[in-house]
Amino acid sequence: MKNRNEKQFVLSILLVVVILGIGTTIALSTAISKPVVNSFQAADHETNIKEEIDGLKKTIQVKNTADKSAAFVRVRIVISPAKALGQDDYMIQGQNWTENEEQDGFYYYTKTLLPGEETEDLIFEVKNKEEVTESFDVLVYEESCVATSTSDSLTIEQIKEAFKKADGKTDQNQG
């Protein structure tokens, strides 16, 4: 009887060693797998603003200087001090530029700006130059985000939505 218990004990230990050996082999083979390589690239995103001044006329362009990514562009023009000119004293115009109906102060470029491309001119011009008696500055703020589409058939709402996704808001005066 004692001999039989010793055999069972030895067989039990041998079984535990075999199970541990198999488990260790499986664990090691799982842990020594090939590393996962990310297959995506971050967007290449950079734009520059160009301004030319001729008297009381300012011509604004934005260039997409990125190597790979298309961009959506918006520009905000601010007169400082604000009381220097009334809204009827100047005009802002440009082909493929749309003023936001929500009055956030931005003009949205309605075409996708491909890498290396420049926007068409956005022109700020004082209407009655003779009536300007106070000095003022015309400040130009430019923002851009990576374009989610390179199609030229986008609506202004789709472009505004891309800016919302990029920064969470379209009105810079919101906190």
According to DSSP, residue 134 is labeled S
**Together in a domain, 55 and 16:** no
Domain contains 23: yes
Above 90 in pLDDT, residue 21? no
Of residues 97 and 88, more confidence is placed in 97
SS3 of residue 65 by DSSP: coil
Residues 57 and 80 in one domain: yes
Residue 173 has pLDDT above 50, yes or no: no
The answer on 88 and 4 residing in a single domain is: no
Beta-strand pair 106-109/137-146: unpaired
Looking at residue 160, its pLDDT comes to 78
- Contact (Cβ atoms closer than 8 angstroms) between residue 157 and residue 143: no
Tens of pLDDT, residues 99-157: 876 667 788 888 888 899 999 999 999 887 777 788 888 899 998 888 876 666 677 77
Q: Are the beta carbons of 156 and 112 closer than 8 angstroms?
A: no
Same domain, 22 and 94: no
Report the C-alpha gap between 166 and 168 in whole angstroms: 6
Say if residue 78 is in the same domain as residue 160. yes
**How many structural domains compose the chain?**
2
Domain span at 2 = 1-33
